Structure 1
Amino acid sequence: MLGRKPSLREARHIDKVFFTGIDDLFYESVATHYRPSDELRTLVQAMLDERGLAWDIRRKDVWSHVRPVEHTAETQLPTQGWKIHVSANEQNCRDLLTKVATLALDHGMQFKFANDVNTLKLMTSKRWARGGSGKFITLYPRTDEEFRDFIELAYAILKDDVGSYILSDNRYKDCRCLYYRYGGIIQVNRLDYMGRKVPILTSPDGEEIVDYRTPYFDVPPWTTDPFPREDAEPADMTLMNGRFAIQSALAFSNTGGVYLATDTTTGEDVVIKEARPHVELGEHGQDATSRLAQEERMLSLVADLGISPRLVTTFWDWENFYLAEEHLDASDMREVMLMNSPLLKVNPTVEDSETFYRIHKSIFVSLLKAIDAIHGKGVIMGDLSPMNILVDKADMTVRIIDLESAYQPKSDEPQNIYTPGFRSEVKGRKKENDFHDDIYAIGAIMMYSMFPIVATAYVRNDLFTRMLPVLVADIGWANTPVEDVIRKLAENTITCHEAIELLDAPASFEQPYTARQVERELSSAAASIALARFITDHYRLDDLHTLFPADPFGGQTNTLGLGFGATGIVQALHKCGCTLPAPARERFDREIAAAQASEIPPGFLTGSAGIAWSFFGMGNTEQGKRFMAHANASPLLRAHHSLYYGMAGIGMANLAAYLHTNDSTYLNAAKDLANSLASSAIEDERGLHWEDDGEIRIGYGYGQSGVALFFLRLSQVLKAPTWRALGQKALEYDLSFGFELETGITTFACSPEEKNTYEHYIEQGTGGIAKVAIRYGLWDRLESMFPDVYRKYSGFPGLIYGLTGFVDVLLDAYLYSGNRKYLDMAERPLQGIADLYLFKSGDGYAAPGENLFRISCDFATGIAGMMRTFHRHANRTPDEFCLDELDVRPSETHAAQRLEPMELD
Structure 2
Amino acid sequence: MAVNDQYELYCLADRLFYDTADRRGIEIPDFAVAGREVPRGWSHQPSDTWFHYAPTGHDVPPQGWKIHVSAGLADAARVLEIVWDYCVERDIPFKFLRSRSVVTMLNSKGAARGASGKLVTIYPRQDCLELTLKELDGLLAGVRGPYILSDLRYGDGPLFVRYGGFVARRCVAANGDLVPAMENDRGELVPDVRGPSFTVPDWVELPGFLTPHLEARNAVTTTELPYAVESVMHFSNGGGVYLATDRRSGERVVLKEARPMAGLDAAERDAVARLQHEREVLRRLDGLDCVPGYRDYFVLGDHHFLVMEFVDATPLQRTLVRTFPLTKADATAESIAEYTVWALDTLPKVRAAIEALHERGVVFCDLHPNNILVTPEGRLVLIDFEVATFVEDRGRSVLAHPAFQAPADRRGADVDHYALACLTLGLFAPQLTITVPLARAKASQLGRLIVDTFPVPPELVKRAVHTISGPIGGGPTASVTLGDPMAAMARAILASATPERADRLFPGDPAQFRPGGGVNLAHGAAGVLFALDAAGAGRFPDLEEWLLRQRPESPPGFYDGLHGVAYVLDRFGHVDRALDLVDRAMAGRWRELDLGLWSGLAGIGLNLLHLGLDARPLVELCAERLPDDVPETSGGANPRAGLLYGLSGPALLFLRAYDHTRDPALLDLAERALRLDLKRCVLTSDGSLQVNQGWRTLPYLDEGSVGIAIVLADLLRQRPGSSLAAALPDLLKVGRCRFFVQPGLFAGRAGMVMADRTLIPGLDWHVLPYRDGIAFPGDQLLRLSMDFATGTAGVLYALSGTPLPFTHPLGAEPYAVPGGVPLRPPAKEVIGAPNS
What does 1:815-854 align with in structure 2 at a 5 Å threshold?
Answer: 826-827=757-758, 829-833=759-763, 835-854=764-783
Distance in 2 (CA, whole Å) between partners of 1:107 and 1:731 is 57
Task: Answer yes or no: is 1:482 the counterpart of 2:421.
Answer: no
Task: Answer yes or no: is 1:712 the counterpart of 2:655.
Answer: yes
What does 1:534-613 align with in structure 2 at a 5 Å threshold?
Answer: 534-543=492-501, 545-556=503-514, 558-559=516-517, 560-591=519-550, 594-595=551-552, 599-613=553-567
Distance in 2 (CA, whole Å) between partners of 1:527 and 1:163 is 52
Structure 1 13/710 Cα, relative in aligned 2: closer, same or farther at 3 Å?
A: farther
- The one-letter code of the counterpart of 1:216 is S
- Give secondary structure in 2 for the equivalent of 1:749: strand
Task: Answer yes or no: is 1:213 the counterpart of 2:194.
Answer: yes
Partner of 2:380: 398
Deviation per CA, 1:812-846, whole angstroms, max 9, x where unpaired? Answer: xxxxxxxxxxxxxx23x11111x212233212221
Partner of 1:900: none
Deviation at residue 372 of structure 1 after TM alignment: 0.7
Deviation at residue 444 of structure 1 after TM alignment: 0.5
Partner of 1:407: 389
Structure 1 561/411 Cα, relative in aligned 2: closer, same or farther at 3 Å?
A: closer
Q: Report percent identity of matched pairs.
A: 28
What does 1:217-228 align with in structure 2 at a 5 Å threshold?
Answer: 217-220=198-201, 221-225=203-207, 226-228=209-211
Distance in 2 (CA, whole Å) between partners of 1:773 and 1:804 is 20
| TM-score, scaled to structure 2 | 0.86
Deviation per CA, 1:722-753, whole angstroms, max 9, x where unpaired? Answer: 3223323333444455544355x3221245xx
Deviation per CA, 1:688-720, whole angstroms, max 9, x where unpaired? Answer: 999999724332222333333332332232222
Deviation per CA, 1:130-187, whole angstroms, max 9, x where unpaired? Answer: 2322223444434523x32343233334333322212232222233x233334445x3
- Give the aligned length: 797
Task: Give the counterpart of 2:170 among 190, 195, 206.
Answer: 190
Structure 1 881/64 Cα, relative in aligned 2: closer, same or farther at 3 Å?
A: closer
Asked if the contact 2:235/2:241 (under 8 Å) is kept, the reply is: yes
- Give secondary structure in 1 for the equivalent of 2:697: coil
Partner of 2:826: none
Asked if the contact 2:33/2:77 (under 8 Å) is kept, the reply is: no
Partner of 1:701: 644
Distance in 1 (CA, whole Å) between partners of 2:186 and 2:368 is 53
Deviation per CA, 1:299-319, whole angstroms, max 9, x where unpaired? Answer: 121121111222221110111
Task: Answer yes or no: is 1:530 the counterpart of 2:508.
Answer: no
Deviation per CA, 1:518-572, whole angstroms, max 9, x where unpaired? Answer: 999567xx22222112111221134464111111123235322211221111111
Distance in 1 (CA, whole Å) between partners of 2:628 and 2:62 is 44
Structure 2: gaps spanning 5 or more residues: 815-836
Task: Answer yes or no: is 1:173 the counterpart of 2:149.
Answer: no
Partner of 1:882: 806
Partner of 2:825: none
What does 1:711-750 align with in structure 2 at a 5 Å threshold?
Answer: 711-735=654-678, 738-743=681-686, 745-750=687-692
Deviation at residue 14 of structure 1 after TM alignment: 7.7
Moved over 6 A (4+): 52-58, 193-197, 411-414, 688-694
Deviation at residue 763 of structure 1 after TM alignment: 1.2
Deviation at residue 339 of structure 1 after TM alignment: 1.7
- The one-letter code of the counterpart of 1:749 is V
Distance in 2 (CA, whole Å) between partners of 1:603 and 1:55 is 33
- The one-letter code of the counterpart of 1:747 is L
Structure 1 209/642 Cα, relative in aligned 2: closer, same or farther at 3 Å?
A: closer
- The one-letter code of the counterpart of 1:674 is V
- The one-letter code of the counterpart of 2:140 is L
- Give secondary structure in 1 for the equivalent of 2:261: coil
Structure 1 853/164 Cα, relative in aligned 2: closer, same or farther at 3 Å?
A: same
Once structures 1 and 2 are overlaid, which stretch shifts more, 18-27 or 551-560?
A: 551-560
Task: Give the counterpart of 1:91 among 59, 62, 74.
Answer: 74
Deviation per CA, 1:865-899, whole angstroms, max 9, x where unpaired? Answer: 21122222xxxxx52513549x9x9479xxxxxxx
Partner of 1:37: 29
Structure 1 23/398 Cα, relative in aligned 2: closer, same or farther at 3 Å?
A: same
Distance in 1 (CA, whole Å) between partners of 2:31 and 2:345 is 53
Partner of 2:817: none
Structure 1 246/788 Cα, relative in aligned 2: closer, same or farther at 3 Å?
A: same
Distance in 2 (CA, whole Å) between partners of 1:450 and 1:469 is 11
- Give secondary structure in 2 for the equivalent of 1:847: strand
Task: Answer yes or no: is 1:117 the counterpart of 2:100.
Answer: yes
Distance in 1 (CA, whole Å) between partners of 2:632 and 2:264 is 48
Partner of 1:766: 705
- The one-letter code of the counterpart of 1:575 is A
Asked if the contact 2:340/2:454 (under 8 Å) is kept, the reply is: no
Partner of 1:253: 236
Asked if the contact 1:797/1:847 (under 8 Å) is kept, the reply is: yes
- Give secondary structure in 1 for the equivalent of 2:709: helix
Distance in 2 (CA, whole Å) between partners of 1:283 and 1:883 is 46
Distance in 1 (CA, whole Å) between partners of 2:532 and 2:485 is 13
Deviation per CA, 1:558-603, whole angstroms, max 9, x where unpaired? Answer: 3222112211111112223334444422211101xx24xxx43333
Distance in 2 (CA, whole Å) between partners of 1:758 and 1:81 is 40
Distance in 2 (CA, whole Å) between partners of 1:454 and 1:707 is 39
Asked if the contact 2:238/2:258 (under 8 Å) is kept, the reply is: yes
Structure 1 121/710 Cα, relative in aligned 2: closer, same or farther at 3 Å?
A: closer
Task: Give the counterpart of 1:156 among 121, 127, 138.
Answer: 138
- Give secondary structure in 2 for the equivalent of 1:130: coil
Structure 1 403/111 Cα, relative in aligned 2: closer, same or farther at 3 Å?
A: same
Partner of 2:433: 454
What does 1:112-511 align with in structure 2 at a 5 Å threshold?
Answer: 112-145=95-128, 147-175=129-157, 177-185=158-166, 187-190=167-170, 198-202=179-183, 206-220=187-201, 221-225=203-207, 226-229=209-212, 232=215, 239=222, 241-281=224-264, 286-395=269-378, 397-408=379-390, 410=392, 416-425=398-407, 429=408, 434-452=412-430, 453-477=432-456, 479=457, 481-490=459-468
Distance in 1 (CA, whole Å) between partners of 2:433 and 2:775 is 17
Deviation per CA, 1:342-399, whole angstroms, max 9, x where unpaired? Answer: 222234333323322232123211110111111111112122222212222332x421
Deviation at residue 81 of structure 1 after TM alignment: 4.0
What does 1:625-644 align with in structure 2 at a 5 Å threshold?
Answer: 625-637=579-591, 639-644=593-598
Deviation per CA, 1:103-129, whole angstroms, max 9, x where unpaired? Answer: 556666565444343343333222332
Asked if the contact 1:240/1:316 (under 8 Å) is kept, the reply is: no
Structure 1 322/672 Cα, relative in aligned 2: closer, same or farther at 3 Å?
A: same
Asked if the contact 1:278/1:288 (under 8 Å) is kept, the reply is: yes
Deviation at residue 646 of structure 1 after TM alignment: 2.5
RMSD value over aligned CA atoms? 3.8
Distance in 1 (CA, whole Å) between partners of 2:515 and 2:376 is 44
Deviation at residue 468 of structure 1 after TM alignment: 1.5
Structure 1 455/25 Cα, relative in aligned 2: closer, same or farther at 3 Å?
A: same
- Give secondary structure in 2 for the equivalent of 1:15: helix
Distance in 1 (CA, whole Å) between partners of 2:214 and 2:597 is 51
Structure 1 711/228 Cα, relative in aligned 2: closer, same or farther at 3 Å?
A: same
Once structures 1 and 2 are overlaid, which stretch shifts more, 215-224 or 451-460?
A: 215-224
Asked if the contact 1:439/1:492 (under 8 Å) is kept, the reply is: no
- The one-letter code of the counterpart of 1:839 is L
Structure 1 243/672 Cα, relative in aligned 2: closer, same or farther at 3 Å?
A: same
Distance in 2 (CA, whole Å) between partners of 1:366 and 1:168 is 43
Structure 1 701/349 Cα, relative in aligned 2: closer, same or farther at 3 Å?
A: same
- Give secondary structure in 2 for the equivalent of 1:229: helix
Deviation at residue 199 of structure 1 after TM alignment: 4.1
